[in-house]
Amino acid sequence: MVPVGIRGEYSMRSEQEILNTLLKNYDMRVRPPPVNTSTEGAVNVRVNIMIRMLSKIDVVNMEYSIQLTFREEWTDPRLAYEHLGFYNPPAFLTVPHVKKSLWIPDTFFPTEKAAHRHLIDMENMFLRIHPDGKVLYSSRISLTSSCPMRLQLYPLDYQSCNFDMVSYAHTMNDIMYEWDPVKPVQVKPGVGSDLPNFVLENITTNTDCTSHTNTGSYGCLRMNLLLKRQFSYYLVQLYAPTTMIVIVSWVSFWIDLHSTAGRVALGVTTLLTMTTMQSAINAKLPPVSYVKVVDVWLGACQAFVFGALLEYAFVSYQDSARQNDRAREKAARKAQRRREKLEMVDAEVYQPPCTCHTFEARETFRDKLRRYFTKPDYLPAKIDFYARFVVPLAFLAFNIIYWVSCLIMSANASTPESLV
């Protein structure tokens, strides 16, 4: 029996002896032989991922940043040490820095744009060798990965981001990947819930992403991240302000049609504000060739604002035309009366009508309300009167159609299959 005082030293010496024995005739250039006695068969590599951080989902560049612990497990019979006869062998050997001494799967990530391993304070990786030759490789890496996004339903959209893992040099005859059957993907608490614009709705895994190239077929694993955009931000920063701008443009219908300066200034200001807001929103999105639901909303709001300005232009034109007609009629009546006076012979002394008892009645608040809500007979004023009620009702009808359609399309797009 080994004394207690030297048990740790003996354990370290035993691990060193085991490693020296295992690596004596080990060739890292050759993949592990099959577990069975045959000389053919692929190495089964079991993968497990722990997502530590998910951040910086960039819609313009269509990418996201992710930090994860990447684990691979396979069996290499050449590293089995349970049959070597060592006294009280350890449950596993932890080997932190022998990547250049042992065979490791050449896994790469096709959707990766940039990546790095963490080297502070030491390289964040380890490799464990079990007595039966089972090897566990674990490493912490950070990646910026591509995520092609479909923005037709922006900002009510779901985005499906694929994260693939493929062998670079070994075909399916050499390496077969499979997910950990117990828990293939682990998520650190809080990940996905603290994103500024998205919520991590679901994570799914599959193996139907085999890469077929001119050099062969390569096994592949896929992790799918389903992201839901948070709508509250856009409700406060986009939909509410544009709705208020449209409502402000309706004030023009209640201003006297002869107040040209006020109505033109209001119409131009709301139109410019709407255009500026639309440009600011599109600056945060990539230029795409299809129409987004936010484009429909902004286009409709701009049409309502521009329509209010056009309505006053039409009303002003109609008013000017009728004023000119009245001026011509008034001039014709004056000329007719002048001719009649000249034709009068031996006319009696003219006595003007008495105006000593006439007075102008003062308009009350009720009279003002009656004037605003009573349909006038004058055509330009009649157009303003109808616009006060028809335009808001049209905008309300547009809202009903818009939001019902968006909710239906968003519900249909909430599954990864619909985003493929």
- pLDDT tens digits, residue range 23-65? 888 888 888 887 764 446 889 999 999 999 998 888 889 999 9
Question: What pLDDT is attached to residue 367?
Answer: 63
**Cross-strand bridge partners of residue 205:** 223
Residues 6+ apart with CB under 8 A from 227: 57, 158, 159, 160, 161, 195, 198, 199, 200, 201
Nearest one of 304, 294, 293, 312 to 391, comparing CA atoms: 304
pTM of the entire predicted model: 0.75
Confidence of residue 419 (pLDDT cuts 50, 70, 90): low
Contact 383, 311 (CB under 8 A): yes
Q: 147-151, long-range: CB within 8 Å, 24+ apart, which pairs?
A: 147/57, 147/62, 147/63, 147/64, 147/111, 148/62, 149/59, 149/62, 150/419, 151/59, 151/285, 151/286, 151/288, 151/290, 151/292
**Count of alpha carbons within 13 angstroms of residue 155, beta-carbon side:** 20
Nearest one of 157, 159, 161, 128 to 143, comparing CA atoms: 161
Question: What pLDDT is attached to residue 27?
Answer: 84
Task: Assess whether pLDDT exceeds 90 at residue 100.
Answer: no
Cβ atoms within 10 Å of 59's Cβ, excluding its own:
20
Nearest one of 234, 246, 241, 224 to 292, comparing CA atoms: 234
